[in-house]
């Protein structure tokens, strides 16, 4: 006999609905190879709820049972067409969840996940509840362990493409959220396949000091994995796994753990210069990824972030009348929408066709981007209010300055699409790095290896500079040749020992 679903932690009754986000973490989107322009959703039935400690049963014939550690939001007050600014006050509790699914049955329902994720007990939640009012939605930490080994580790403000308030507001535009409803907010990279005998644990806590996390933590949501003892027979779709489903199910969790996070990628590329990054990309056959002829408001400040793209088309009176201001039926034009969508750790990259005879961004919108945590702005057109932009902490790279407004030359057209900025194709999610030498684009799938090899190159160049200072010739030294390799290895060992405080 099937166990009854767990009672709701707030009302004691199952929620009216469980809404789940398909992809909301950048690290997961990079793993999937696509960057969504907005969140998309599916529904999980209340029969999937389970308490901590309840076994999750892998259905007969299935091999691809995957976990997805998630932050769950529990709605406290009715939410209908609420704004992002007001959305968080409608959330009463935050807890841990695990959005289990079997990839063997994903094909059966064409994206609705009814059979793959609607199985009894496939949404464990708990064990504790955190008061949403005591949490900063940008500093919520999610961690998942499999058999005691850390598999997922993400902080909301560092990795989310869409903030929790934005998700609540978006759902409420068309679907009223009732008290007790659950929102599963998506999973970061690290989700992978588990098997009977494994134990998966998920914890949600307030990011900060160890004392903060201890004081505000859900505790670990524990889910032992077991084999189901019932039979699954036709009629109806039967489990079917192929190589494509196996690749999707294992994901990045089949390889490196959370060290491959989006935040770590940005830290890695920030440690090296654009000149070195350009050299490493050239070695890989990429010779056209520098954004040329741009100026910088803060050339001494490093900029690194993921691309959030905005495209302008040439000015046309009727199109600007329709798309330049408030859109038909209400809503922001593409320029303002891009600014309101930009997230911490992103760079707003603007295609203006190199036309510098009208402004593409001014002080108010640039300030708004800075307040939203943007790492920078890059435009191949002109900026307005240049003195104010130069005074900002956020770096801006631009083609020229011009006093005229947008509508002289440009129509704001679309966001989060492939663009051409300063002669370079920029995809949403590419990594943009800028410094005193200029701006460069790094395809996200190359970033980790490029950053690693760039760091090694800069060490070799530091060694070469030290030797040249002592009077050595660059022959065989720069680039490093076999003759100098033993000396370099010894120098690096001594340098590492010095840095770690060791003595020989």
Structure tokens at 256: 């490196």
How many CB atoms are closer than 10 A to CB 439? 25
Structure tokens at 386: 């240049």
Tell whether residue 362 is among the known ligand binding residues.
yes
Cα dihedral 307→310→313→317 (10° resolution): -170
Inter-residue contact 430 to 443 (CB < 8 Å): yes
Tell whether residue 385 is among the known ligand binding residues.
yes
Q: Render 271-284 in DSSP notation, one character per residue.
A: TS-HHHHHHHHHHT
Strand 56-58 to strand 221-227: parallel, antiparallel, or no bridges (unpaired)?
parallel
Structure tokens at 183: 């929102």
Contacts of 471 (CB under 8 A, 6+ apart): none
Tell whether residue 384 is among the known ligand binding residues.
yes
CA-only gyration radius of the chain, Å: 25
Inter-residue contact 419 to 349 (CB < 8 Å): yes
Inter-residue contact 121 to 86 (CB < 8 Å): no
Cα dihedral 479→484→490→492 (10° resolution): -10
- Euclidean distance between CA atoms 147 and 52, whole angstroms: 15
Contacts of 75 (CB under 8 A, 6+ apart): 90, 91, 92, 168, 177, 178, 179, 180, 181, 182, 183
Backbone phi, psi, residue 378, to 5°? -130, 125
* DSSP secondary structure letter of residue 177: B
Tell whether residue 363 is among the known ligand binding residues.
yes
Beta bridge partners of 307: 347
Residues, the chain: 504
Count of alpha carbons within 13 angstroms of residue 273, beta-carbon side: 13
* Residue among 19, 20, 332, 30 at smallest CA distance from 161: 30
- Euclidean distance between CA atoms 377 and 82, whole angstroms: 29
- Euclidean distance between CA atoms 185 and 25, whole angstroms: 9
Annotated binding site for substrate: 362-365, 384
Annotated binding site: 362-365, 384-385
Annotated binding site for Mg(2+): 385
């Amino acid at each position: 006999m099937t166990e009854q679903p767990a009672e709701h932690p707030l009302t004691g009754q199952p929620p009216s609905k469980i809404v789940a986000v398909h992809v909301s973490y950048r690290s997961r989107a990079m793993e999937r190879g696509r960057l969504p322009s907005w969140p998309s959703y599916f529904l999980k039935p209340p029969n999937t709820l389970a308490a901590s400690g309840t076994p999750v049963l892998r259905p007969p014939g299935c091999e691809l049972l995957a976990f997805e550690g998630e932050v769950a939001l529990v709605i406290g007050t009715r939410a209908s067409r609420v704004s992002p600014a007001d959305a968080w006050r409608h959330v009463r509790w935050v807890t841990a969840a695990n959005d289990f699914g079997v990839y063997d049955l994903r094909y059966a329902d064409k994206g609705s996940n009814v059979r793959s994720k609607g199985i009894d007990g496939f949404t464990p939640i708990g064990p504790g509840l955190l008061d949403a009012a005591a949490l900063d939605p940008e500093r919520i930490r999610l961690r998942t362990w499999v058999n005691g080994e850390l598999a997922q580790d993400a902080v909301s403000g560092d990795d989310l493409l869409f903030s929790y308030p934005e998700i609540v507001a978006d759902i409420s535009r068309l679907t009223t959220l009732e008290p007790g409803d659950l929102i599963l907010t998506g999973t970061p990279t690290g989700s992978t396949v588990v098997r009977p005998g494994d134990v998966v644990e998920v914890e949600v806590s307030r990011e900060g000091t160890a004392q903060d996390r201890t004081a505000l933590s859900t505790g670990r949501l524990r889910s032992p994995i077991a084999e189901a003892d019932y039979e699954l027979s036709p009629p109806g779709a039967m489990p079917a796994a192929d190589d494509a489903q196996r690749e999707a199910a294992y994901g990045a969790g089949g390889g490196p753990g959370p060290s491959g996070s989006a935040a770590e990628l940005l830290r890695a590329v920030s440690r090296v210069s654009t000149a070195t990054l350009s050299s490493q990309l050239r070695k890989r056959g990429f010779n056209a990824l520098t954004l040329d002829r741009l100026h910088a408001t803060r050339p001494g400040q490093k900029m690194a972030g993921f691309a959030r793209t905005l495209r302008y088309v040439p000015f046309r009176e009727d199109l600007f009348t329709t798309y330049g201001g408030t859109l038909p039926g209400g809503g922001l034009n593409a320029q303002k929408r891009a600014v309101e969508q930009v997230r911490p750790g992103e760079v707003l990259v603007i295609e203006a066709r190199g036309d510098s005879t009208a402004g593409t961004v001014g002080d108010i919108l640039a300030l708004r981007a800075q307040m939203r945590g943007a790492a920078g702005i890059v435009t191949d057109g002109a900026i307005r209010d240049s003195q104010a932009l130069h005074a900002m902490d956020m770096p801006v790279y631009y083609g020229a300055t011009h006093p005229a407004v947008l509508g002289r030359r440009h129509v704001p057209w679309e966001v989060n699409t492939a663009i051409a900025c300063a002669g370079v194709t920029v995809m949403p999610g590419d990594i943009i790095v800028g410094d005193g030498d200029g701006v460069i684009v790094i395809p996200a799938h190359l970033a980790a290896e490029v950053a690693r090899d760039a760091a090694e190159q800069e060490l070799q160049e530091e060694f070469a500079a030290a030797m040249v200072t002592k009077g050595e010739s660059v022959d065989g030294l720069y680039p490093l040749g076999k003759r100098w390799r033993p000396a370099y290895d010894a120098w690096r060992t001594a340098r590492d020992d010095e840095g770690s405080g060791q003595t020989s």
